[in-house]
Amino acid sequence: MSRPVQARRLEGVDKNIWVEFVKLAATYSTVNLGQGFPDFPPPDFLKEAFTRALSGEKHMLHQYTRAFGHPPLVKILAQLFGKLLGRELDPMTNVMVTVGAYQALFCCFQAFVDEGDEVIIIEPFFDCYEPMVKMAGGTPVFIPLRPQSVEAANADWQLDPAELASKFSERTKAIVLNSPNNPLGKVFSREELELIADLCVKHDALCISDEVYEWLVYDGKEHVRIASLRGMWDRTVSIGSAGKTFSVTGWKVGWTVGPNRLLQHLRTMHQNSVYHCATAAQEVVAQGFQREFERYGKPDSYFVQLPKEMQQKRDQLVQSLVAVGMKPIIPEGTYFLVADISEFKSDVPDVPNSDEPYDSRFAKWMVKNKGLAAIPLSAFYCGPHKNNYNSFIRFCFAKEEATLKAADDILQKWKLEKTTP
Amino acid sequence: FRVEFTKVAADPSIVNLGQGLPDISPPSYVKEELANVAAVDRLNQYTRGFGHPSLVKALSQVYERVCGRKIDPLTDILVTVGGYGSLFSTIQALIEEGDEVIIIEPFYDCYEPMVKMAGAKPVFIPLRNKNDGNCASSADWVLDPGELAKKFNSKTKAIILNTPHNPIGKVFTREELQVIADLCIKHDTLCISDEVYEWLVYKGKKHIKIATLPGMWERTITIGSAGKTYSVTGWKLGWSIGPQNLIKHLQVVHQNTLYTCPTPLQEALARAFWIDYKRMDDPDCYFYSLSRELESKRDRMAQLLREVGLKPVIPDGGYFMIADVSTLNVDLSDVDGNQPYDYKFVKWMIKSKKLSAIPLSAFCGPETKGQFEKYIRFCFIKVNVLETINMGSMVKKGSCQKTTWWLVFF
């Protein structure tokens, strides 16, 4: 064939940081704080539910269920999110289950974005937003979160309101919001969300709200759901993830919640791409949610216990990093934190005119030589901006005690090597 | 159509012979392996995006044996969300605006919208019944080689092949595949080969992979399905197998659509595959035993359909059977709508006989509805219905309705 065999929509979306870094971690790492998944088990109640479901004679668990979501799951999601959003939700039309939040994002971009549309993406961003917008034929428009001071030690980086307003145009189809934010760990405040909401309403733009870390919020901060703000329900799709909610990233169960006028298009996209999601995991996640709904706000709720445990792990990792001279940015949410590794730059000399951002080279060197895997922050910036914050790396702290201790050992040893002549 | 008929068929008072949903149980070791996997903590987290290592390894071993060629588990295979997900990834990866894609009618209904969604133009060619006699077989439905050749041109990017075929159950012969292969090679066209029913082939027939014909491996994506192989449609795992230079583009689509498939299911499937791989020389291998089990159900269903005056087309493969319903001459003037005959017939059948099936014109392009509208599709991978009818029993709840339907025609 004289022209390429592949479709043009694949142009510019073939590179993927995870394919490379996951392989590196698998090959070299002894301590993997890179890819975002827990290395501790899922909660007992969920494992028990899974075992129970499989040992029963319900063989329909192994056959197709309802394409847009297993009935028990969409029912409980409608109940829970109805309560959280303060409105009555119809499980059949206001909720759709997807293969992880990832596929929910894909359905949103495919359903709503066309050639000529612009989509605003806030940097740093979960890296799939950009290629997904491009694959749908849209144009990503970037706006950065900026640290409020040079020495800012917390994740309260902010958008400049005037700058944000300038990014909206009549071509703006949607803005992608991710709160709590991966990789930074920022939790957008109500005021910040109102700012975004006002602009969406003013420009009649949609909001694709990635809230997969909605339960992982620390220091008493509140996760505010943008769909609950005035004027927003009708133009927002909220995305959630069982993987992050219940520490089962490998189950790949996600969902979208929104008005029927938007979900109907997600259903069209879904029925023409995967059609059904696997049944068994949906059944068990439904049971998990049922349990949590009954315990909502109570001390033994997993949604209360998990963030408590994560906060401790966060503090433990922060301590480790500070002790060795890496400067962590304290996250308000998610199970990621970003640290400034400037003190360690001498280990990895700069290569001027290199195509590869410094932090990426640093992270690769670190996993190969120290066995510690982390992800360069530049992975979360668009091409032209990859060098804006290139001395930061992202660590995942959803790890067992032993793993965090092992990371600490590596860091301590490393520091010692640097100070010992 | 499927969403419409599925809703109706979710009514438990209706006997659903429409949707392809087995109500036989998957083999016990498949369920056991999933239960074993559930106990392993790390298998609840992300695995390799393009396919869980133990699964792609198992698939490469099984298919190396079947195809007689080396298959690299990491570069030649992509694991997807069902055969459906493989079709989507393949079409999104390789088809675009300006392309034409040949679709053989009747076709599994998602081919057309997927091709359109990729911006391409579907070009239809019908299978034609060369024998209208009483002993109709799926083998009687054939492509006209001259007609097929005319459908190929410089814009033809791919042809979608489905063998064993849904809904007719045709198993394409080597000669028939060669005709298609020759045209693909002549016009430098890709072949998307949907072989999800590859193991469901009945006595006397052999499933042949078009990718094994000379000149075809490098231009073919072959699609398989755990749901159909192990009677676990609810696991939604499938795979695409082909040359690296094509599969790599499917992998790009995959990494931008859902990234990974569920881990526990992939691990359990890998273990099930190892069990059957080790006994591929043994007739008890599930790949062969399932089709033996289904053959008797096929024959039973054909007999029942004949007894009520319908004319079944005996399938050589798959678990669907089509039947000509025009011979019954049912009065459908009450059924509303400007719809093809078979749609009206099925609506009437659901309402008055509490039995559902799928109208064949749902599987055709607009031009050929007239050709196919006297047929409806039944699914026979249903143990309960057929055993109930077998026993002629009126004891079980709901069986009365089923038996009544059959009695109406005696």
Closest-CA distance, B140 to chain A, in angstroms, reads 31
The owner of tokens 């992270």 is A363
How far is it, in rounded angstroms, from Cα A413 to Cα A416? 5
pLDDT tens column, B73-89 = 999 999 999 999 999 99
Q: Which residue of B has its CA nearest to A275?
A: B84
Is the Cβ pair B262, A252 closer than 8 Å?
Answer: yes
Is the Cβ pair B263, A14 closer than 8 Å?
Answer: no
Closest-CA distance, B86 to chain A, in angstroms, reads 9
Please list, in sequence order, all residues whose beta carbon lies within 8 angstroms of the beta carbon of residue B322, skipping any fewer than 6 positions away.
B167, B168, B169, B312, B313, B315, B360, B375, B376, B377, B378
Q: Which residues of A touch B255 (CB under 8 A)?
A: 16, 18-19
Query: Which of A278, A277, A279 has its CA nearest to residue A61?
Result: A279
Q: Report the amino acid identity of residue B37.
A: V
Weakest mean pLDDT among A157-171, A261-275, A337-351, B14-28: B14-28
Say what the ipTM of the complex is.
0.95
Closest-CA distance, A7 to chain B, in angstroms, reads 5
B60 vs A: CB within 8 A = no
Parallel/antiparallel/unpaired status of strands A336-340 and A327-329: antiparallel
Q: Which of B252, B266, B383, B384 is the best substitution to test chain A (most A C-beta atoms within 10 A)? A: B252
pLDDT tens column, A300-312 = 999 999 999 999 9
Check if the beta carbon of residue B88 is closer than 8 Å to that of residue B113: no
pLDDT tens column, B354-369 = 777 888 988 998 888 8
B43 vs A: CB within 8 A = yes
B377's enclosing H/E stretch is strand B375-379
pLDDT tens column, B208-257 = 999 999 999 999 999 999 999 999 999 999 999 999 999 999 999 999 99
B340 vs A: CB within 8 A = no
Q: Report the amino acid identity of residue A119.
A: V
Parallel/antiparallel/unpaired status of strands A372-373 and A31-32: parallel
Q: Rounded mean pLDDT of chain B?
A: 88
Phi, psi (degrees; rounded to nearest 5) at B401: -60, -40
Q: Could you tell me the two tokens for B78?
A: 């992509």
B28 vs A: CB within 8 A = no
End-to-end CA distance of chain A: 61
Query: Which of B168, B194, B167, B191 has its CA nearest to residue B179?
Result: B191
Q: Could you tell me the two tokens for A369?
A: 């030589």
**Cβ atoms < 10 Å from Cβ of B168:** 31
Q: Which residues of A touch B227 (CB under 8 A)?
A: 64
Is the Cβ pair B45, A248 closer than 8 Å?
Answer: yes
How far is it, in rounded angstroms, from Cα B74 to Cα B377? 38
**Angle of helix B286-307 relative to helix B383-391, nearest 10 degrees?**
50
DSSP, res B27: P
pLDDT tens column, A4-61 = 999 999 999 998 888 889 889 999 999 999 999 999 999 999 999 999 999 877 778 9
Is the Cβ pair A280, B235 closer than 8 Å?
Answer: yes
What torsion, rounded to 10 degrees, do the Cα atoms B28, B34, B35, B40 define? 150
Check if the beta carbon of residue B222 is closer than 8 Å to that of residue B209: yes
Give the A:B interface size as CB pairs under 8 Å.
172
Q: Which residue of A has its CA nearest to B260?
A: A252
How far is it, in rounded angstroms, from Cα A120 to Cα A101? 19
Is the Cβ pair B25, A59 closer than 8 Å?
Answer: yes
Q: What is the mean pLDDT of residues B32-55?
A: 95
Check if the beta carbon of residue B215 is closer than 8 Å to that of residue A261: no
Cross-chain CB nearest to B88 (options A13, A19, A274)? A274
How far is it, in rounded angstroms, from Cα B53 to Cα B24? 29
Check if the beta carbon of residue B106 is closer than 8 Å to that of residue B89: no
Q: Which residues of B touch A402 (CB under 8 A)?
A: none
Residue A126 has pLDDT above 70, yes or no: yes
Q: What is the pTM of this model?
A: 0.93
Q: Could you tell me the two tokens for A236?
A: 């927002």
Q: Which of A1, A13, A99 is the best substitution to test chain B (most B C-beta atoms within 10 A)? A: A99
Q: Which residues of A touch B260 (CB under 8 A)?
A: 100, 250, 252
